A and B are shown apart, each in its own frame.
Chain A
Amino acid sequence: MTCEQALPLLSAYFDRELDVAKSLEVEGHAQGCNRCAATLQQHDALRTSLSGAALVFAPPGGLERRVRTAVRREARPSGLFALQPWRWAAVPLAATLAAAFAWSVAVNRGATSGDDLLLAELVSGHVRSLMADHLVDVATSDQHTVKPWFNGKVDFAPPVADFKASGFPLVGGRVDYIAGRPAAVLVFKRSQHTVNVFIWPARKEEPALRNATVHGYHLLRWSGSGLRFWAVSDVSNTDMESLALLFQEAG
């Protein structure tokens, strides 16, 4: 065995992960080769320092309790689990749409060019939420669970309501990062479709509804109580406006 053959195997030899034959070959070579022997010494020195340096991070106090609480809440039998299958059903569709997405944004109407980036961010946030298993961070139809969940995650209090009676059941919430700041996201269902409502504080009130279409997704903006709302979905504009109305009535 030559040095060129031995060098790529030294690390695995050192870890005792080579089969017996290869291991013997490397060993035979390293006994007569100062360079390879020195490399093995360095691996050994590195292991000594890695194990001696207390590099393992211990979880902060309270993490276990918080995780246990969250896990128990998640495991509680609830309506949420009956809703699970659509999350997977949405994935192939979302992946197809995302493949066609191609990062260029065509805005049909209603947007100034400065807003194009924001619209693109909103749509990719929406698509991403359907693609990755990351639709919601707190999965529940209980608004009283979702609202406090946002405490400490965003620096404002988003209005959380379940509009199940009007055909928009609340599925849960998560935090996304939109336009350089954290946004609260409420997730609703409209029959088999998903509506993401992004919420963050508005610098100025813009009472008028505004809509846009980006790659077949509808976006609708409204404001209220010092907050900006953007809904993104593939449901109809009429449905989006109904949801906006529900928010405005509830607020």
Chain B
Amino acid sequence: MRKPEELQRFERLVMPHLGAGYNLARWLTRNDDDAEDVVQEAYLRAVRAFDRYRGGDPRSWVLTIVRNTCYTWLRQNRAAETASARDDDNGVAEIPGDPAAQPEVQFIRDVDRQLLREALETLPAEFREALVLRELEGFSYKEIADIADVPLGTVMSRLARARKQLQQSLRRRMKEGA
């Protein structure tokens, strides 16, 4: 990036998504300081790679870099966490909702923020990331597939299993709390 107008373009297109980048990094690293470091490194990578940006949604583009930087960081600092989710398991199906579980639906709807945050934080990183991108950032399956560099079907199964695990985790916490 030798031209000042390229830097201006980077600042105009990419800097506004720092918040989304921080949110994703914070959910993946689960720590304020680490998230700051990762986001800063990701933005340095982004500015170095900006000549390879070919248009498209700059938010997806920079979140892809933030996400990859997070995983590099996790592999280097918390190797155990990156091996947590396996996509080959197709156990999506066995969460038949209980028709009599209206109180449970009510509980999930009204669940305490702290409890929800803890439950989300304990999901495997790939599931957490899928839910954060879908529910907090509002990305489509196609966009999530691009950011996480996985097939569409994997996004579908990760989200299904992420919801299942999150609901199970909340149910368990509800019982423990009761």
A residues whose Cβ falls under 8 Å from a Cβ of B:
3-4, 7-8, 10-12, 15, 17, 34-43, 45-51, 53-60, 63-64, 66-68, 70-72, 74-75, 77, 81, 84, 128, 132-134, 137, 139, 177
A67 in complex: contacting residue of B7, B40, B76, B163, CB < 8 Å: B40
CB distance from B112 to the nearest CB of A (A): 8
- In the complex, which residue of chain B has the Cβ closest to the Cβ of A174? B41
A-B contact count, CB below 8 Å? 155
A7 in complex: contacting residue of B10, B92, B120, CB < 8 Å: B92
Q: For A41, list chain B residues within 8 Å (CB).
A: 97, 105
Contact, CB under 8 Å: A11 / B163: yes
Give 26 A-B contacts (CB < 8 Å), ordered by A residue.
Answer: A8-B92, A8-B160, A11-B163, A12-B141, A15-B159, A37-B97, A38-B98, A39-B96, A45-B105, A45-B108, A46-B108, A46-B167, A48-B109, A53-B117, A54-B113, A55-B113, A57-B26, A63-B39, A71-B44, A72-B7, A74-B47, A74-B48, A77-B2, A128-B76, A137-B41, A177-B77
Known A17-B156, A55-B116: A60·B135 in contact at CB below 8 Å: no
Known A54-B113, A56-B136, A70-B44: A38·B105 in contact at CB below 8 Å: yes
Contact, CB under 8 Å: B36 / A63: yes
Q: For A36, list chain B residues within 8 Å (CB).
A: 97
Given A11-B160, A57-B26, 12 more A-B residue pairs with CB atoms under 8 Å apart are A8-B92, A12-B156, A38-B105, A46-B163, A49-B116, A56-B136, A59-B22, A59-B36, A81-B2, A133-B45, A137-B41, A139-B44
Contact, CB under 8 Å: B44 / A39: no
A75 in complex: contacting residue of B6, B40, B160, CB < 8 Å: B6
Question: Which segment, of B11-19, B53-61, B80-88, faces chain A?
Answer: B11-19
Q: How far is the CA of A128 from the CA of B77 in the complex (A)?
A: 13
Q: How far is the CA of A3 from the CA of B95 in the complex (A)?
A: 11
Q: For B92, list chain A residues within 8 Å (CB).
A: 7-8, 11
Most buried by B among A7, A51, A66: A7
Contact, CB under 8 Å: A49 / B99: no
